[in-house]
Chains A and B, each alone.
Chain A
Amino acid sequence: MLHRRLTHHGRADVLWGLLVFVAVQFGLAVGIEYGLPQIRDPFYAYRAASLERRTLEAPSQPLTAVMIGSSRVRDGLRSSDLGRQLEAELGREVVLFNFGIPQCGPVVSLLYFERLCAAGVKPDLLLIDVVPMLLAKRSAEGHPSAPFESRYPQANRLRLDELDFVERYGFPADEYRKVWWQTALAPCYGLRFEILNGLLPQLLGNTMRSHLAQASSFDESGYMPRADGKTTLEMRRNAVAFARSEFGDTLAHFELCQAACEAQRKLLARCREERIPAVLVLMPEGEEFRGWYTPQAIEQLDGYLRALLREFVVPLVDARRWIANEDFSDGHHMLPSGATVFTQRLGRELLEPVLALDSKQRALYLASRAQRDFASLAAGDMQERRTPRQAKADSGGLLR
Chain B
Amino acid sequence: MLFCSQLFLLFFVAVFVAYWAMPWQRARVWLLLVASFYFYASWSQWLATIVCVSTLVDYLAARGMDADLSTRWRRVLLGLSLAMNLGLLVYFKYANFFLRSLEDALTAVGATASLPVLSVILPIGISFYTFEAINYTVDVYRRRIPAEKNLAHFMLFILFFPHLIAGPIVRARDFLPQIRRRKRWDWARMNLGVQLFLLGMFKKLAIADRMAQFADPVFSAPGDYRTAVLWLAMLAWAMQVYCDFSGYSDMALGTAHLLGYKLAKNFDMPYLAPNIADFWRRWHISLSNWLRDYLFIPLGGSRGTRWQTCRNLMITMTLGGLWHGANWPYVAFGVLQGLLLSGHRAFREFCQRRPGLAAVLQTFPGTALRVAVTFTIFCLTLVVFRCPSLSAGGTMLSHMFTRHKGAGLPLAEIGLWLTVAVVAAGHALGYRGRWQFVMERMPSPARGFAYASLLSLALLLSPDASKAFIYFQF
Tell me if B187 counts as interface (CB < 8 A to partner A): yes
CA distance A192 to B418 in the complex (A): 18
CB atoms of B460 and A10 under 8 A apart: no
CA distance A25 to B456 in the complex (A): 8
CB atoms of A14 and B464 under 8 A apart: no
- State how many angstroms separate the Cβ of A22 from the closest Cβ of chain B: 8
CA distance A208 to B213 in the complex (A): 12
- State how many angstroms separate the Cβ of A335 from the closest Cβ of chain B: 26
Partner of A192, one of B187, B194, B410, B461: B461
Residues of A within 8 A of B108 (CB): none
Q: With A12-B444, A19-B448 known to touch, is A205 a contact of B464 (CB < 8 Å)? A: yes
CB atoms of B460 and A195 under 8 A apart: yes
Which of B411, B448, B451 is most buried by chain A, counting CB atoms within 10 A of its CB? B448
Residues of A within 8 A of B463 (CB): 205
Tell me if B455 counts as interface (CB < 8 A to partner A): yes
Tell me if A227 counts as interface (CB < 8 A to partner B): no
Residues of B within 8 A of A17 (CB): 194, 447-452, 455
Q: With A10-B187, A16-B447, A20-B451 known to touch, is A206 a contact of B459 (CB < 8 Å)? A: no
Within 8 A of B (CB), among A15-31: 15-21, 23-25
- State how many angstroms separate the Cβ of B259 from the closest Cβ of chain A: 15
CA distance A24 to B456 in the complex (A): 8
Residues of B within 8 A of A16 (CB): 444-445, 447-449, 451
In the complex, what residue of chain B is closest to A189 when comparing beta carbons?
B459
Chain A 310-332, CB-CB to B under 8 Å as 1, else 0, gives: 00000000000000000000000
In the complex, what residue of chain B is closest to A201 when comparing beta carbons?
B412
In the complex, what residue of chain B is closest to A195 when comparing beta carbons?
B460
In the complex, what residue of chain B is closest to A208 when comparing beta carbons?
B464
Chain B 179-205, CB-CB to A under 8 Å as 1, else 0, gives: 000000011111110100000000000
Partner of B414, one of A11, A25, A202: A202
Which listed segment binds B: A1-9, A114-122, A244-252?
A1-9
How many residues of A are counted as interface, with CB atoms below 8 angstroms from the partner's CB atoms?
32
Residues of B within 8 A of A90 (CB): none
Q: With A10-B191, A203-B415 known to touch, is A15 a contact of B448 (CB < 8 Å)? A: yes
Residues of A within 8 A of B464 (CB): 193, 205, 208
CB atoms of B190 and A10 under 8 A apart: yes
At the interface, is chain B mostly helix, strand, loop or mixed?
helix
Tell me if B462 counts as interface (CB < 8 A to partner A): yes
CB atoms of B460 and A3 under 8 A apart: no
CB atoms of B188 and A7 under 8 A apart: yes
Which of A12, A16, A202 is most buried by chain B, counting CB atoms within 10 A of its CB? A16
CB atoms of B452 and A14 under 8 A apart: no
- State how many angstroms separate the Cβ of A395 from the closest Cβ of chain B: 40
CB atoms of A9 and B191 under 8 A apart: yes
Residues of B within 8 A of A202 (CB): 411-412, 414-415
Residues of B within 8 A of A186 (CB): 459
Partner of A7, one of B186, B453, B455, B461: B186
CA distance A13 to B188 in the complex (A): 9
Within 8 A of A (CB), among B151-204: 186-192, 194
CA distance A300 to B191 in the complex (A): 64
Q: With A10-B189, A13-B191, A186-B459 known to touch, is A206 a contact of B410 (CB < 8 Å)? A: yes
Q: With A14-B194, A203-B415, A205-B213 known to touch, is A21 a contact of B188 (CB < 8 Å)? A: no
CB atoms of B448 and A13 under 8 A apart: yes
CA distance A16 to B446 in the complex (A): 8
CB atoms of A10 and B461 under 8 A apart: no
In the complex, what residue of chain A is closest to B412 when comparing beta carbons?
A202
In the complex, what residue of chain A is closest to B413 when comparing beta carbons?
A202
- State how many angstroms separate the Cβ of B424 from the closest Cβ of chain A: 18
Tell me if A196 counts as interface (CB < 8 A to partner B): yes
Q: With A16-B447, A17-B194 known to touch, is A192 a contact of B462 (CB < 8 Å)? A: yes
CA distance A192 to B205 in the complex (A): 12
Which 8 A-B residue pairings sit nearest by Cβ, starting from the closest?
A16-B448, A17-B451, A10-B191, A10-B187, A12-B444, A20-B452, A202-B412, A6-B188
10 A-B pairs with C-beta separation under 8 A: A6-B191, A9-B444, A14-B190, A14-B451, A17-B448, A19-B448, A23-B452, A192-B460, A205-B463, A205-B464
Given contacts A10-B192, A196-B461, A203-B461, 4 further A-B contacts (CB under 8 A): A6-B191, A21-B452, A21-B456, A192-B461
- Residue positions of B touching A, CB distance < 8 A: 186-192, 194, 210, 213, 410-412, 414-415, 418, 444-445, 447-453, 455-456, 459-464
